[in-house]
Amino acid sequence: MWWGTAIEEPDPAALARFYSELLGWSIGHTEPGTTILVAPQGSIYVVFQQANDYQRPVWPPETGEQRPMMHFDFQVGDLDVAVTEAVRLGATLADHQPQANVKVMLDPAGHPFCLCLDE
């Protein structure tokens, strides 16, 4: 059974709060250096872990720079509304946008994530 995934970043509590607000998921556990986000179904978890030597990934990937190691894809009903809400919460719209029906965003720690139009 897949339990969840872990993401390293310099301020786990802050990034967990960002995704909690973006997705409407609750924070299930927090302790120094670790915060766990819980999906409403209760069976999927995202662990945010302290990384003191964290390097922001570069999107799109560039030779010699820290590559994104993974990213989230979220389906949305309205791209413009979802982008506006993500930006309000602290995300930025990436400069490079490879698809018309997907918006690549960068979370406050620089991890890319995609807002995908649910067509």
pLDDT tens digits, 34-65:
999 999 987 899 999 999 999 999 999 999 99
Q: What are the residues whose beta carbons fall under 8 Å from the beta carbon of 34, sequence distance 6 or more?
A: 12, 47, 48, 49, 50
96-118 pLDDT per residue, tens: 999 999 999 999 999 999 999 99
Q: What are the residues whose beta carbons fall under 8 Å from the beta carbon of 76, sequence distance 6 or more?
A: 82, 115, 116, 117, 118
Domain 1-53 coded CATH 3.30.420.40: no
Candidates 3.40.630.10, 3.40.50.300, 3.30.390.10, 3.10.180.10; CATH matching 55-119: 3.10.180.10
d(CA 74, CA 27): 18
d(CA 66, CA 48): 19
Query: CATH 3.30.720.120 spans which residues of the chain?
Result: 1-53
d(CA 3, CA 111): 21
